[in-house]
Amino acid sequence: MTRSHGAPHWRDKALFTPGPLTTSRTVKQAMLRDLGSRDAEFISVVADVRRRLLNIAGADPEAYTAIPMQGSGTFGLEAVLSSAVPRDGKVLVLVNGAYGRRLAEMATVLGIGVSTLEWPENRPAEPAEVQKALAGDSSISHVILVHCETTSGLMNPVEEVGRIVADAGRTYFVDAMSSFGAVPLSMPESRIDYLVSSANKCIEGVPGFSFAIARLEPLLACEGVARSLSLDLLAQHRGLESNGQFRFTPPTHSILAFHQALLELEAEGGVEGRMRRYQANHRLLLEGMRAMGFREYVDVDHQGWIITTFHYPDDPSFDFDRFYDHLSSGGHVIYPGKVGTADCFRIGSIGRLDAADMRGLLSAIDDALKAMGVSLAPAKGTLKAGLD
């Protein structure tokens, strides 16, 4: 990007994070206007956003609805939990990272009965254990799974778990925060009743709202369940259906940016096209990091292409704060680790990034290691076949 009137060239730092992400210039430019929340043009944009979200989810508008909700992704998750689980309901949360734990905590704060199945943070959920838990506890009404556990980048078996949950006659709620828009997923085929993501993830919009995609049958059965006025998912749906408007002040500029981001997703080839770019980014990252001697926290068979967690180098000269500052000062922003069992950091492959950005980051990492006097031996291992 360039400033006008002959000012020097400039560019924001590249964000190798799980969100907010690097966005395109045209997405940013979409926010350079004001629209009234009840203006016919804005209402039309919201309707088109909702339609496009259903298309991405492979969801029939006769059976599903897309419901934008003010606030971050966590607000959207809480909207579903607080609106969809009845007073006598109980959720089973499948936990292998911080975001699964947050969902369990959220249910507890809301006064919802909750049980958990837990695995190490580098192991996916095991469908057979879910099946056993459901068979052993008839009080469980809802099962919650994080598709891409952003703690580590681990991918969970969302389709397999969905079949088990549906066969058991329970409601299935998926946190697709870090996967939606870049990992092919059909809600009907995966038997998902509620899915939540947010504007500032793989669709490459800006922060400001989340969205739930809900199957209408269970949603419409939630009359009187909501534990919150502002996070009432059914009321939000009904407001949008009746007049196309949010019940409370919408994030107009974020929605305009998101609409532009959806158009750019389509121009890139939809979810498949975006996936290919992210996979290419991820492959370059793995090749470069392994060549420098870094090891991934998650086994290659369970990695996605969204975010990758790396162990700290086994060298006393390595200091993460110095490492981070060196990269940031050069225009590359990575993310601290979030796992509880190992010292790690995370690097995202998503957002408006391409091969040149990944190579620039790898060069900066090499420079940082040299500046700290860190010495590593090249790591061994094969890359995921699906990334070929």
Q: At what angle do helices 252-267 and 270-292 cross, to 10 degrees?
A: 90
Alpha helices in the chain (DSSP H): 25-29, 40-56, 73-84, 98-109, 127-136, 158-167, 187-190, 216-220, 233-243, 252-267, 270-292, 320-329, 355-372
Measured CA distances, 195 to 135, 158, 164, 178, 374 (Å)? 24, 11, 17, 12, 43
- 270-377 fold: Aspartate Aminotransferase, domain 1 (3.90.1150)
Do the domains 26-266 and 270-377 sit in the same CATH topology, yes or no? no
pLDDT of residue 331: 96
Instruction: Classify domain 26-266 at the CATH class level.
Output: alpha beta
Domain residue limits, the chain: 26-266, 270-377
Q: 128 to each of 92, 132, 191, 298, 361, how far by Cα in Å?
A: 14, 6, 17, 21, 40
> What letter represents residue 324's amino acid?
Y
Contacts of 26 (CB under 8 A, 6+ apart): 260, 264
| pLDDT at residue number 385 | 36
Say what the pLDDT of residue 340 is.
79
User: CB within 8 A of 46, min separation 6: which ones?
Assistant: 68, 240, 244, 245, 246, 250, 255
pLDDT of residue 135: 98
pLDDT for position 342: 87
**pLDDT the model gives residue 379:** 64
The residue ranges of the chain whose pLDDT is under 70 are 1-10, 379-388
Residue 381 is predicted with a pLDDT of 52
